[in-house]
Structure 1
Amino acid sequence: MKTKKFVQALTASATLVLVAAGCSGGSEADGADGDVIRFAFAPDPVWDLMDDAGVIAEWEEENGVTIETSSTWDEFTYFAGGHGDIVSMSTQETPVLEAETGIKTVTFGKYNYLRVPLYRRAGDPYETLADIPKGSKICVSGPTSNTTFWTVAAQQLHGLDYRVGGGDFDLMVNDHFVNPTNLLRGDCEAAAVIPEAAVPQMRKGELEIMYDGKLPFQLYNTFAPTDDGEKHILGNNFVATEEWFDENEDLAVKFLELWDTGIAMWQEQKAETIAKYPQHFSVESDDDIAYITDFITEDDRDWFVDTVFLDQEWIDAETQVWSLMHELDPDNVNYLAEDAPTPRFEALGTSDD
């Protein structure tokens, strides 16, 4: 049952998907042999920003590597089926993936902080999960990923059991973009939703973010054992199979350098990027575009990292979430047994180091 829930959650979740496979140069990561990276991903504003600016084409020419792209939401099929080498996955998902599939992974870069907050209807008295009556329905997008975060937060902050299929609440699984409507019409008492899926409702004052408006990565450090002063809990890391990474470490570095360029472009052009690619933020009207632009740029809510590169101090702090998952009820889908795998994280330097 745990495996079934995990597979369903991964194949249904709308996360950035990256797949790289079939490098003709093998470990020849300099691209001299005409390497190809097959790269499948969900629509992403930073990728489009780089593509339209010619950055990707320039990178391909400089490195002798062609990036063949396709769009998909189903990273699990590529990864678990042996067809892909790199996927996007949250920190808390990697040990569950390894435990359930036997696939050995290497997390070598970061991209998005976890940004799925809990919402209430405007006027409802719920400040935190502790204010919601036990047994109430809560709308969620799946049993893992952001639900894992809220499982850990509920236990650490309130001593509550938050999970799909049991616990103190009745968690109902639906799509992010359906859950704001479900919440407003009373199908649930709270909902975990990506901010982009609730822009009109937030702008009109119909829905409000609980926990004083904090997104998960802003709330996490208030209870987690992190002491490096950095932001933590990633919704999207760059995760490769161990086999691919060990044969293509130099190419992995170049891959991160490309994305680091994109992140720098985003940091310099946030408002322009949102206006140019409103579809990535699920907004259409000028009012909604202005709202999500302000939402992201104010109150330190930008969920894109400053750099995709990892360092060891950050890794040591980030992976402490696994110790919190070990403390969960063993019946919880997000529980980690004591003998659960410890996924490998690698701090890579740039090619100039």
Structure 2
Amino acid sequence: MSTARIFRPHRSRLVAAAGVIALLVSGCGSRPGAAKGGEAKDAGGVVNMVMAPDPVWKWMESQGIKQQMEEEAGIQVLTSSSWDEYGVYAGGHADVVSAASYEVPDLEKQTGEKTTIFGKFNSDRSILAVSAKSNAQTICDLKGKKIVTHSAVSITIMWGVYARKFCNLDLRAGGGDFELVVTDPQNAAGLIERGDADAGLLLPDFSIPQLSSGAIKPLYDSKSVSQIYAEKFSSDPQNVTHPQNNVFVARKAWVEKNPDEAAFLVKIWDRGVQEWAKNRDAIVKAYPEDFAAETPEEKAFIQDWLANKYDWFVDTTYLDQAWVDSETKLFELMKETGFVDKNTPAPDFTIIPKS
């Protein structure tokens, strides 16, 4: 069984509310408090976080929720919006990164720094889709074909695990049994539609026009990575929150030195998923650009997908031991399929009690 440290935040800082300014910082330049070279500094009431563009965060800002919570806590969250969260964090330009749990071993390898996972947000929603004209039924039928994805790591790792497990094929960048092409997530489905790729590892919310028109078709009954994992590998098939495509990851030393800031980050995002549960359709309508949904029909399509196929937002961002144990089992599968060295330890988890 996996173990995770139980985390007890310090008492809240007493900071005047007027001194807290809510900022949304674009770009990925280094900012005060950002970790560099493994250095763990006192964050001083500031959390530098890098993440992909997120509609829930925008909603929290537009509704004044983020600002109110920051003022009450005396802590700011400064965000850099990037599709290359991995690179921004690895370059030392952020304290916290929203990354896939299965990326963490490689992230530690690249940075040489021990990290810890201390919150969760999104399960892996990616699907495998092919042209409407394709006869492929599974990933095994795509050997030698050109597959498009938005990252050489991220979702590609899990589909690579499945390719190895289901048909002993090698799906990864730089070789293997498939031709892997990396592009922006907004462009991936279009490449399949135009015939420039045979298949794609896609985010459904960035593939709406092609999915809704029938130009491309999902395999595995439109199931996401997390739904397939629950069905094929989990002891709890009803739990579709594994694996996580967005967990909150930081250098372990940073979390230990800045418990108030780490606890606040989990708390504010937990409020975010509560807002999502209550206002999902309103958030989609308010920020259709984050779902690549332009027309009323496209908005209705993704709303239906979320309601009837898969909603990838978690119920709570807080970790508990049972969840940690289940997520950790993923890394045994990664070792079995060669995506993690057998001697690599499972990621570290920090459990922050709900306040």
TM-score normalised by structure 1 residue count: 0.84
* Deviations, residues 69-116 of structure 1 (Å, cap 9, x unaligned): 443334344422333211011111001111232111010001111111
Q: Is the 8 A contact 1:228 1:317 kept in 2?
A: no
Match of 1:158 among 148, 158, 167: 167
| SS of equivalent to 1:87 | strand
Q: Would you say 1:48 and 2:52 are equivalent positions? A: no
Aligned to 2:13: none
Equivalent position amino acid for 2:343 in 1: D
For 2:205 and 2:286, the matched residues in 1 are separated by 15
Aligned to 1:349: 353
1:298 positional shift: 1.2
For 2:109 and 2:304, the matched residues in 1 are separated by 40
Residues 72-111 of structure 1 mapped to structure 2, 5 A cutoff: 72-111=82-121
1:149 positional shift: 0.4
Q: Would you say 1:136 and 2:140 are equivalent positions? A: no
Match of 2:340 among 316, 327, 336: 336
Residues 256-267 of structure 1 mapped to structure 2, 5 A cutoff: 256-267=266-277
Q: Is the 8 A contact 2:86 2:99 kept in 1?
A: no
Q: Can you give the 5+ residue segments of structure 1 that lack an aligned partner in the other structure? A: 1-16, 330-334
Residues 241-280 of structure 1 mapped to structure 2, 5 A cutoff: 241-280=251-290
For 2:169 and 2:175, the matched residues in 1 are separated by 12
Residues 227-242 of structure 1 mapped to structure 2, 5 A cutoff: 227=236, 229-231=238-240, 232-242=242-252
1:56 positional shift: 1.0
For 1:158 and 1:44, the matched residues in 2 are separated by 35
For 1:285 and 1:47, the matched residues in 2 are separated by 22
For 2:105 and 2:319, the matched residues in 1 are separated by 18
Q: Is the 8 A contact 1:20 1:39 kept in 2?
A: no
Aligned to 1:195: 204
Q: Is the 8 A contact 1:226 1:320 kept in 2?
A: no
Q: Over aligned residues, Cα RMSD in angstroms?
A: 2.3
TM-score normalised by structure 2 residue count: 0.84
Aligned to 1:332: none
Equivalent position amino acid for 2:325 in 1: D
Aligned to 1:5: none
Aligned to 1:60: 70
Return structure 1 stretches of 4+ with deviation > 6 angstroms: 26-29
| SS of equivalent to 1:272 | helix
Q: May I ask how many residue pairs the two structures share in their alignment? A: 321
1:265 positional shift: 0.8
Q: Would you say 1:217 and 2:226 are equivalent positions? A: yes
For 1:72 and 1:272, the matched residues in 2 are separated by 24
Aligned to 2:307: 297
1:226 positional shift: 4.0
Between the two proteins, what is the percent identity of the paired residues?
37
Match of 2:33 among 22, 36, 53: 22
* Deviations, residues 161-196 of structure 1 (Å, cap 9, x unaligned): 222222222222222222222212222221111112
Tell me: CA distance 1:242–1:20, structure 2 relative to 1, closer, same or farther (3 Å): farther
